[in-house]
Structure 1
Amino acid sequence: MTSLKKNFIYNAMYQVLIVLLPIITAPYISRVLGASKMGIYSYTYSIAYYFLLAAKLGLDNYGNRSISRVRDDKDKINQVFSSIYYFQFFIACIAIIGYIGYLFFISNNLTIAVIQILWVIGAIFDVNWLFYGLENFKVVVFRNTVVKVLAAIMILLLVRKSSDLWIYTLIMGGSALIGFLVTWPFVLKQVRLVYVKKQDVFKHFKQILILFIPVIAISVFTVLDKIMLGKLSSFSQVGFFEGAEKILIAPKGVIGALGIVMLPRMASLYGENNLKQKNKYIELSLSFAIVLSIAFMFGLIAISSNFVPFFYGIKFKPTITLLSIMAITLPFYSIGNVIRTQMLIPSMRDAPYVVSVILGAIINVIINLMLIKPLGAVGAVVATLCAEIIVACYQINSVKKELELRKYMKLILYFFVIGLFMASVVLYIGVSIKNRILGLTIQIVVGMSIYSLLGIYTLKKSKDPVITLLSNRLKIN
């Protein structure tokens, strides 16, 4: 448990950094580039991202799971890492060739699209799955922190006017590529590349492809939304959507950090058939994710009308509505994240995971086609919300016998009421105080205080076994 806490803290601290840096850069970039230019960046990145996904297939989850199962045997680690990495290198080269073909024959906004190839090239060198499988999160977090800070500094120094979109794109893609490259000395300290037979390389293809299906399906309601907005609406609508999504990255990242940390540990426990410890971790993780996601949901809804104009400027006012709707996805995302990263993927139950996200993707595309033209970005956000609900409900149903979600109902009800009360007070403060910066500061402080104090009181007084388990682990007596 100590190592899990440390790894979660590393990842959570990195997510805090992701919150802090955009507070500096996002308001600056949104004002310098504007919604339309940000929309062009988001649109071209979304297309490059699909080639990046093709380069990685389902390697992140598959590599993580595979390494975690052999991490106590150095020779096996070298064999498994080498065979998976050779496969990754081969697929990434094909994806790069495919993207070059796209640039020659299809691409609009050619200059920006050419620079975006840096993301696809980065897939050759991205082996985060090795560190996750070994539960060595410190290297990845340190690398990402340095890269993010340096990129933020360069953006503030070099992006000065709207025509500097190419510089912004170069900084974003170039910093990611350099970050992957500088990790390799640490990689070679952990493992070494060894000779493996061709059949040992390509034997991974089937399982990687199975795990790639949900990755590509999830991208439909994280990336394809923006491509469809660009085609069916306008680049400004893409920019407003991107604004809301960027704010949501931080809470989703903190919640997702739990899944990243727990997946290799759970894969190891499933391999050992340690059901008692596995069930205890799942109960604790799900309780923690529920409490955290409800806080984020009500908090973002309550401060959005003050936060968005302060963060992006008054021209991004449509993002207020988008953020408020998008925040509702957080509880569904958090429950689904625990189920897939701690139950389905570690136990190699890939089928319900795959089916759930395919259903979500289909629903997302259908609703996008129906709502984007009349509603713009609002239609895309509604589609995303519906997709997240479908995915979470299907995954819950697939593990209902071992999860028994009804025993978490008291926890959900208690913290929903606390969150609703907190949001009511915070909204009142936002309306009452006319100075936006002062009002926002008081909203955040008061909101955190109310939710924390009432939450601690509930954890101390409740006799419910799930709430008691969470209280004991957080050492609230």
Structure 2
Amino acid sequence: MASLKKNLVYNYILSASQVLLPIISIPYLSRILTPDGIGRVSFIDSFTYYFISIAEFGIVVYGMRAIARQRDDRIARGKLVAELLALHVVTSGIALLLYAIAVVLAWKHIQDIRLLLFSVSYLLVNFFACEWYFLGMEQFRYITLRSLATRLLGLVSIFILVKGPEDYYLYYGIVVTAAILNSLWNNYYLFKEVPIRFKGINWKQHIAYTKFTWLISLTYGITLLLDNVFLQLVSTAAAVGYYAFSMKVVKAATVLLTDSLLVFFPRIVALVREGNKAQLQAVVARNIQLMVFFAVPLSIGIFLLAEQLIVTFLGNQFMAAVTDVRILTLFPFLRTYNLFLSKQILIAYDQEKLYLRGLLVGGLCFMALSLLLSYYFADVGACWAIVGSEAITLVINYYYARKVAAGLSLFDAKGFLHALGSALLFIPVVYGISKVADSHGMVLLLSVAGCILLYSLVQLLVMRNAFALVVWEAIKRKSLQKIYHY
């Protein structure tokens, strides 16, 4: 239990850094760089990462699970690592070839050799990516400290090197360098810790197991990584800039919630295999309670404070993105609920094929909606496209989850109404504060504090919400374990 509690702490530290560090860097970057420059970086970053996903070939999920099974056998681990690294080198070579073809076709949307060189550098270093090893060995302390070090170094570099609109390529260079440092750091510790020999290995045997998870990852990446790419293909770099930073604001608010749900996954898998339906329902109910309790007020709060968020974090030159943020307020709830249905239900029941079907339909809908709506409505169209595709995927996932987990309750209507009723009280709070506060930043600060306090009190004292009571007990005992106890 001590190990689990430590891993939870490191997981929260890492997740918090994903939220807090962008809160520091985004306001600076949005005022130094133009929407056009940010759009260029967002395009090449998404473009590059999709080919990294192609190269990954499902090795991350498969490798993490396989390493966990061999963690006590150092020799077997070394052989497995060598085989998976060799497989990744082969798939990375194929991905690099496809990348070269795509660059030729999409060059008019890049048009900067400096961005291209940084992109290629990361692709080459990524040939020996091995993050899966440290995840499988549950070395969360190492992962957290390493990531914090590179992220902080990147943050400092941004303030030192990015001084004007023309420095957008340096911003991308810093992002890439941080990722490269992570990869090289991993390689150093991996080769130091594990005896690796490439002679006489059989890397082909793993293809049958990795290809399916690869298809899931690749399809999932359509909305996760190609949104900026599709928008750039039919619109302008400035539109990509508005959309990309709007998504950064919304995703930063979603990270802690989605990461919290992942902590439940191993326990759900174990309960499904044990056939313990009563305890399984209890764990699933806790997942839903957590999701609804935080996602609903988060979405409503972002909608009401969209203008204040944009002006405070991005600056006046991004005022056109206010509409984007308001459309994307549905995203935290949709994405979190989709994660719950897919990971906690479908994958836990070994129904990856059903999960893939939902992703394929949602991905195809996103491609069609994105190209069509972005062509006519630029960044606003892109926002509607991703929200619409998430909603479509949610309907499909819910249908499949109901069939697979027959008898399990997959939604908490009472908790949802509690959350919605409590969060609607934000409207007079935000309206009243906006009438008396003298700046957008002050409105944002006072509204967030006031809404959190009001929501907590209403849920706890008026609604007597079950999850609110659990959270309150955990706070009094200063223990995360209480929240994750079923």
Alignment TM-score, normalising by the size of structure 2: 0.87
Relative to structure 1, the CA distance from residue 348 to residue 389 in structure 2 (aligned partners, 3 Å threshold; closer, same or farther) is: same
Q: Which residue of 2 aligns with 1:63?
A: 63
Q: Which residue of 1 aligns with 2:47?
A: 47
Q: Which residue of 1 aligns with 2:478?
A: none
**1:315-361 CA deviation, whole Å, 9 max, x = no partner?**
10121111121121211211221232233334432111101111111
Q: Which residue of 2 aligns with 1:123?
A: 126
Aligned residues: 472
Relative to structure 1, the CA distance from residue 471 to residue 392 in structure 2 (aligned partners, 3 Å threshold; closer, same or farther) is: farther
Distance 1:237 1:169 in 2: 18
Contact persistence 2:231–2:379 (CA under 8 A): yes
Distance 1:125 1:324 in 2: 40
**1:260-317 CA deviation, whole Å, 9 max, x = no partner?**
4444555566566666655543332232122221232122112211111111111101
**1:62-84 CA deviation, whole Å, 9 max, x = no partner?**
32333345546555544444433
Q: Which residue of 2 aligns with 1:474?
A: 483
Q: Which residue of 2 aligns with 1:93?
A: 93
Q: % of aligned pairs identical?
A: 21
Q: Does 1:168 align with 2:177?
A: no
Amino acid at match of 1:39: G
Larger displacement relative to structure 2 (280-289 or 52-61): 280-289
Distance 1:186 1:458 in 2: 53
Contact persistence 1:269–1:278 (CA under 8 A): yes
Amino acid at match of 1:443: S
Distance 1:67 1:162 in 2: 45
Contact persistence 1:69–1:267 (CA under 8 A): no
Query: Following TM superposition, by how much is the alpha carbon of 1:247 offset from its aligned partner in structure 2, in angstroms?
Result: 0.8
Query: Following TM superposition, by how much is the alpha carbon of 1:236 offset from its aligned partner in structure 2, in angstroms?
Result: 0.8
Amino acid at match of 1:25: S
1:454 equivalent among 435, 458, 472: 458
Larger displacement relative to structure 2 (147-156 or 56-65): 56-65
SS in 2 for 1:193: coil
Relative to structure 1, the CA distance from residue 376 to residue 407 in structure 2 (aligned partners, 3 Å threshold; closer, same or farther) is: closer
Contact persistence 2:297–2:423 (CA under 8 A): yes
Q: Which residue of 1 aligns with 2:218?
A: 216
Relative to structure 1, the CA distance from residue 5 to residue 76 in structure 2 (aligned partners, 3 Å threshold; closer, same or farther) is: same
Amino acid at match of 2:185: V
**1:192-213 CA deviation, whole Å, 9 max, x = no partner?**
43568654x2232233222222
Query: Following TM superposition, by how much is the alpha carbon of 1:410 offset from its aligned partner in structure 2, in angstroms?
Result: 1.1
Q: CA RMSD in A?
A: 2.9
Distance 1:189 1:271 in 2: 37
Distance 1:215 1:166 in 2: 28
Relative to structure 1, the CA distance from residue 421 to residue 8 in structure 2 (aligned partners, 3 Å threshold; closer, same or farther) is: farther
1:229 equivalent among 222, 228, 231: 231
Distance 2:198 2:276 in 1: 34
Larger displacement relative to structure 2 (414-423 or 91-100): 91-100
Q: Which residue of 2 aligns with 1:114?
A: 117
Relative to structure 1, the CA distance from residue 175 to residue 210 in structure 2 (aligned partners, 3 Å threshold; closer, same or farther) is: same
Q: Which residue of 1 aligns with 2:303?
A: 301
SS in 1 for 2:298: helix
List gaps (5 residues or longer) in structure 1.
none
Q: Which residue of 1 aligns with 2:447?
A: 443
Q: Which residue of 2 aligns with 1:404?
A: 408
Distance 1:471 1:407 in 2: 22
Relative to structure 1, the CA distance from residue 291 to residue 186 in structure 2 (aligned partners, 3 Å threshold; closer, same or farther) is: farther
Q: Does 1:430 align with 2:430?
A: no
Amino acid at match of 1:130: Y
Amino acid at match of 1:425: V
Distance 2:75 2:271 in 1: 21
Query: Following TM superposition, by how much is the alpha carbon of 1:105 offset from its aligned partner in structure 2, in angstroms?
Result: 6.7
Larger displacement relative to structure 2 (212-221 or 181-190): 181-190
Distance 1:204 1:414 in 2: 48
Q: Which residue of 1 aligns with 2:359?
A: 357
Contact persistence 2:456–2:468 (CA under 8 A): no
